[in-house]
Amino acid sequence: MMKQEKIVGFQLKNASLCAALLALSACGGSDSINPVKLNTLDGKPAMVVAHRGASGYIPEETVEAYAKAIEMGADAIEPDVISTKDGVLIARHDPNLAYSTDVASHPEFAARKRTVNVDGEVQEGWFASDFTLAEIKTLGGTSTDAERPQQFNGKYKIATIQEIVDMIKKSGRTITIYPETKNPTFHRQLGLPLEDKLLALLSAAGWNDASAPVFIQSFEPGSLKYIRSKGSKLKLVQLIDADDVDLKTGTLTFAAPYDRPYDWALAGDKRLFSAMVTPAGLAEIKSYADGIGPWKRYIVSVKGTVGTDGKVADVNGDGKVNEADAVTLPATTLVSDAHKAGLFVHPYTFRNEKRRLASDYKGDPKAEYKHFYALGVDGLFSDFADTALQARSDYFKEIGYNN
């Protein structure tokens, strides 16, 4: 996921949410065990995906972050997949190691700092494709959010995808692995394609059919289409991004590199990611994938208060203007539209920090989860899987659903 980023239990102002809750409570039928039906695509509880592991507590995509997520009871764990110089698949959100490791403090690698074009964005740093796995393993992960614990920075090592598979196998329970092919065109241009190695690794684990506990996601349609062309029956997910929300209007904004898939950009396709959420776009996705992973603002956006100076007001008076100064807008029809197209919906990314929570939620991250559960999402990505799981449990109790 690219972003750093209602509802039983508080006063409802969102008409679409009220309708969703009423629909849930009105469903009866002959099922004496569960008189309440969930409005997910398959009627099953939404899946909680630990985004980059327990990344709200421990530096992301490290061995310890995934171990913690498994300990929390996450239904699925998500690694971003990139490649080392020697072709080993590792879990890292960015090819640029400067963003989430202590590589800058390693003088032995100082000479490898360089400038690279990654999906049209010029970046300076140290890049995983210039390091062997053995060298990568000398680095420590660091927190990417200053509000999160910093005491573990540099202490925990980057996980390989194989290590994550092994951890799942040893867990003693069914846990879904949810890898993302990260910057697949970039890696292909380097001669380090991701897809075949990922499929081989998963197949070696015994995961090679539609029933396997695997979802493969990508922002680039070409990566998913390639996987499908190889005859893979694994579940595929088209990620859908945007740059930001204009808090004056609540509309999504689009700026490179978050405006369109990079393979579209290279092909001269001028469509934005927003084209994917139209009926035609959803039908196109259905031809090669099983679900969508939209940024959550495609489902529920937020809008601030514009002051007399024409600027978004700092409503809570904390000296900053962010989503905590905004209110939620009525939900779009994306969830129901996707379901009509036969696609499940797994929005991203949910986080606990108050600056990321619309004022409707009163600073309670569980309120946001409950809002989206009520809207019928089939799963969601969270940096705080324990909070997402607790909110799901609380939500089930509130609507009378017996899980």
Instruction: Give all domains of the chain, ordered by start, each with its CATH number.
Output: 15-399 (3.20.20.190)
Q: What is the pLDDT of residue 35?
A: 75
* 342 Cα distance to chain centroid: 20
Q: What is the dihedral sign for C-alpha 302, 308, 311, 316? A: negative
* Confidence tier at 275 by pLDDT (50, 70, 90): very high
Mean pLDDT of the 248-263 span: 97
Give 328's contacts (C-beta < 8 A, 6+ positions apart): 6, 14, 300, 301, 302, 358, 360, 371
What rounded mean pLDDT belongs to the chain?
Answer: 93
- Residue closest to 53 by CA, chosen among 149, 146, 177, 148: 177
What's the sign of the alpha-carbon dihedral 145, 149, 152, 157? negative
pLDDT in tens, 328-380: 999 999 999 999 999 999 999 999 999 999 999 999 999 999 999 999 999 99
Beta bridge partners of 118: 121
Return the axis-axis angle of helices 365-374 and 15-26, rounded to nearest 10°: 60
Whole-angstrom distance, CA of residue 54 vs CA of residue 74: 9
Q: Is residue 195's pLDDT more than 90?
A: yes
Q: Which two tokens stand for residue 35?
A: 């008189």
> Which residues on adjacent β-strands are paired with residue 51?
78
pLDDT in tens, 76-107: 999 999 999 999 999 999 999 999 999 999 99
CA dihedral angle for residue 269, residue 273, residue 279, residue 280, rounded to 10 degrees: 10
Contact criterion met (CB below 8 Å) for 51 and 347: no
Residue entry with tokens 């879904």: 176
Q: pTM, whole model, 2 decimals? A: 0.91
The CB density around residue 359, as the number of other CB atoms within 10 Å, is 18
| Cα-based distances in Å from 195 to 60, 190, 209 | 22, 14, 16
Token output for 293: 């992973």
Among the ranges given (18-22, 89-93, 265-269, 322-326), the one the predictor scored with the smallest mean pLDDT: 18-22
1 pLDDT band, cuts 50/70/90, is low
Q: How far apart are CA 346 and CA 46, in angstroms?
A: 9
